[in-house]
Structure 1
Amino acid sequence: MTEQTKRGASSALYRAVWRWHFVAGLLILPFVAILAVTGGIYLFKDEINDVAYGPLRFVTPGETARLSPSEITAAALASHPGTLKAYGPPAAANRSAEVKILGADGLKDTIYVNPYDGAVLGSLWDGGAAGSPAMFVVRKLHSLEYVGWLGNRLIEAAAGWMVLLVGTGIFLWLPRGRQTGTVSIKAKRGRPWWRDLHAVTGLYTGLFIVFLAMTGLPWSSVWGGKFYDYAYQLGLGMPDGYWSNTPVSTVPVADAVDRAPWIMEKQPMPLSGVAEGVPQALDNVVATVEKLGIVPGYAISMPNGPEGVFTASVYPDDITDERVIHLDQYTGKVLYDAGLNDLGALGWAAEWGISIHMGQAWGLANQIVLLLACVAMVTLCVSAAVMWWKRRPAGSLGAPQVPVDWRIPRTLLLIAVAAGLFFPLVGLSMLGLAVIEFGIYLAKRNRIQPT
């Protein structure tokens, strides 16, 4: 291959990567912005909830001992009649107890009770793991669940594309001939300043963005579903024998508790041995799980029907203390007790990744680093939009041009196939873009052919 041929091939690859980086970036820009803004807010959900709902969540420690769990839940039920669904003991001396009650209207509320005198401090519509209605909305926006199944898949495709955009962006930044990628903002104004801002931001934060994308994918439908299945089948998630041959229901763990280890969410809830007799008192259940060493901040879900079980679960900032304990509702026998170290390698890794992704693992430092990554993602979106707007001709998309003799470089084709296999929804969107590109190519070729 001659030097001229090599330069031509390199130029074709560069232009093809640039065009796909441009088009894909423009398409997923709004989704990345949504992920970044909502994710940045959700990193501080506990702090926001404490400030916004402080009178409900905090109490002045009393001089007397706390009331028993049965007394606290009785006070909540007297104030808000319904069916007791869960009880959360105070996580600290200055915290209120949380009692979840399903009302006659079919809605579940969280009742906040002073554990020292039984005073009901107020109630909120139950936000589940989000901790409040406001954070529940942020969480749903983050995953676009309000759009239904399509929203989840759009976010999944956007996450996959984010990984590829970082990769293609680094490729475009790499030196070509005498042109070297900038490591600082050198331009003073105009489109070059936005270009430098975009390049430098992506260069220094790319790995963090890839981490956020990859650790968010376990929640997705297609990629996450396959990862879950493979982890389970390989014995690297939750191995067979998970329930120690205990009879199980058709209700998944995720439907019974607010937050469980990700690898356990789809597993069925166990059943109590004999569906008759007198259920254990809540006071006894609390005493049992605390004797087993569950850390503060846990909640106990009530049995779902005569065959259901008591489930104590906690998902603390220190992920090594996460725990799920199932108890037979009649005998109080421990049916299952699982912590982080009971998970398989992939389940263990996924739990650590999710914990860091949510800003929990290393406290404020974790939150600040990921907040900066979210700010960087917004910066990349804004700078990309501004660059596009400044360079686009009137009435045109302004995408980098496809040469008349355009052919798919082999390197790009191999990367596209590999990425499509690893990220199925990215592969599907690639096919759609390829069809459009081929249509543009045919139209351009037909226009230049002599009549």
Structure 2
Amino acid sequence: MTPIITVDPAGQATEAATPGKPRGAVRALAKRLHFYAGVFIGPFLLIAALSGALYALTPALEEAIYSKELRVPASQSSVPLAEQIRAAQQIAGGQAPAAVRPAPRPGDTTRVMFTDPGLGESESRAIFINPANAEVRGDLTVYGTSGVLPFRTWIDDLHRTLLLGDAGRLYSELAASWLWLISLAGLALWLTRPRRKTPKKDVTARTRTGRFNRGGLAKVHGTGGVALIVGFLFLSATGLTWSGLAGNNITSLRSALNWTTPQLPTTIDGADASADGVQQPHHGGGTPTGTSMDPTMYDHVLAAARQETIIEADKIEIKPPAGAGKAWTVTEIDRSWPTQADAVAVHPATMKVTSKLVFEDFTLAAKLTRWGIDAHTGVLFGLANQLVLALIALGLAGSIIGGYLMWWKRRPTRGTAWAVGRAPSQRFLRTSPWPLTATVAAVAIAVGVFLPLLGISLAVFLAFDVVLSLIKNRPQTGK
């Protein structure tokens, strides 16, 4: 069949895909998905991109905002950890710490962390101590395993929930659910783009029209999107792991495939108990409840853990036993490259290591999960990681804005008031072979079940498309 030559809005002749063949049908479907998702999901993606770019740059801002709490004059000597903990307890009313993070390097502060029923989930109260003289440097709320400070927590909440709580998580899940599909649809359009038939004499005329006509915008939009597509797919995949509905499905899938992250055993084996069957804590130790905890236990536990060659990181967290029959834990929390995430459990009575967790022994899936989360939050490769994240996020924002400009330039200047622009041609169902149609339908249903917000919104788009087609194709009555 002879190819069809069309003229695009910029006045350039192009060779369109031949209708009735799979390539043309796939292009029509990709165009439809890219158009509707771009128009209606674009605002959610734009907010996520801009807030994500800001979040990626917050570590440097955090260092400046909280320099008093985070930094002290460097000193090669320090007081015992127990003395630092007692200084923090005086501020916290004598409460036993929930965790302690010793100063990793000279010039850093120690964090003594306490639970507080008035704080939210995953939040704790941190007292910052100068390790050289046990001076209290600050009292802040920290969030999550990474211990981010209030400003970054606010940006993170804006990025994840629009400051709307659990209901706001639907916005970020919707954006992450569609980002990969919009990106792949855009890639399909770029790969199947028609070959240009522009005569040489038209090159000068085309140049005069400027880079920001629709043709120029389309070129920048397409090329930029393809250049950043790996980053878009990465942000979508890792972002979905934190989502509500899809995140639960991802967790179930990981469990079924045995891709979960191993956990450190902390239950003390009966054989490790004292001879009379009752654990007799040495060094004034035991399980801390309320204020009944000897801070010197932290020094003893840290010394026992350091004897194990696997605990080598400067950044560590020490946690007391979670209850009777449980061990102390010492965990490496350095998430930069190479990742240091080893952990040991220490018996509260004998100060012996009862179990170990070595990151090198993790499955590849568990390692990829750890690295993916750390890269998404900008800590895996430090400043370079943060700058790349910001570049990808700003590139996504620019792509969305460029897409809206293209849509606006394509709008009809005459016609009905509601016709602010025309969607791409509805050709997929008319031109695709039935096996392709059935395959696409089956994949769409499966993906929609696994990613519920994607499935629901896709059904809404389909219904809207059908109604719009019926309105436009309804029989014209006499005027």
Answer whether TM exceeds 0.5 for this pair. Answer: yes
Residue 120 of structure 1 is matched in structure 2 by 136
Residue 42 of structure 2 is matched in structure 1 by 29
Residue 259 of structure 1 is matched in structure 2 by none
Higher relative contact order (CA 8 A, sep 6+): 2
Residue 126 of structure 2 is matched in structure 1 by 110
TM-score by length of 1: 0.81
Residue 316 of structure 2 is matched in structure 1 by 298
Contact 2:268/2:327 (<8 A) preserved: no
Secondary structure of 1:98's counterpart equals strand
Letter in 2 for 1:388: W
Q: Point out the more displaced range, 390-399 or 134-143.
A: 390-399
Listed as ranges, the matches of 1:394-409 within 5 Å are 394-400=417-423, 402-403=425-426, 407=430, 409=432
2:450 matches 1:421 = no
User: What's the offset of the Cα at 1:229?
Assistant: 2.6
The alignment's C-alpha RMSD in Å is 3.6
- Cα separation, 2, equivalents of 1:437 and 1:297: 54
Residue 7 of structure 1 is matched in structure 2 by 18
Listed as ranges, the matches of 1:24-423 within 5 Å are 24-62=37-75, 65-83=77-95, 84-102=97-115, 108-128=124-144, 129-144=146-161, 146-179=163-196, 187-238=210-261, 246=267, 278-279=285-286, 281-292=297-308, 293-306=311-324, 309-313=327-331, 314-393=333-412, 394-400=417-423, 402-403=425-426, 407=430, 409-410=432-433, 411=436, 414-415=439-440, 417-422=442-447, 423=450
2:461 matches 1:433 = yes
Task: Determine which structure has the larger helix proportion and give its number.
Answer: 1
CA-to-partner distance for each residue in 1:226-276, whole Å, 9 max, x for gaps?
33333333333347xx6669489xxxxxxxxxxxxxxxxxxxxxxxx9788
User: What's the offset of the Cα at 1:374?
Assistant: 1.2
CA-to-partner distance for each residue in 1:173-220, whole Å, 9 max, x for gaps?
235443399xxx974334444333312211211122112212222222
- Closer/same/farther in 2, CA of residues 41 and 303 from structure 1, 3 Å limit: farther
Contact 1:33/1:381 (<8 A) preserved: yes
- Deviating beyond 6 angstroms after TM superposition, the runs of 4 or more aligned structure 1 residues are 1-6, 273-276
Match of 2:474 among 426, 446, 449: 446
CA-to-partner distance for each residue in 1:346-399, whole Å, 9 max, x for gaps?
212211222222333333333322221111011112112222333335533424
- Closer/same/farther in 2, CA of residues 435 and 321 from structure 1, 3 Å limit: same
- Closer/same/farther in 2, CA of residues 134 and 382 from structure 1, 3 Å limit: same
CA-to-partner distance for each residue in 1:144-183, whole Å, 9 max, x for gaps?
27434443344233223111111111222235443399xx
- Cα separation, 1, equivalents of 2:232 and 2:266: 42
Secondary structure of 1:348's counterpart equals helix
The higher radius of gyration belongs to 2
Count of residues in Structure 1 that have an aligned counterpart in Structure 2: 421
Contact 1:143/1:152 (<8 A) preserved: yes
Q: Point out the more displaced range, 405-414 or 73-82.
A: 405-414
State percent identity of aligned pairs. Answer: 25
Could you list the runs of 5+ residues in structure 1 that have no partner in the other structure? Answer: 249-272
Secondary structure of 1:134's counterpart equals helix
- Closer/same/farther in 2, CA of residues 243 and 189 from structure 1, 3 Å limit: closer
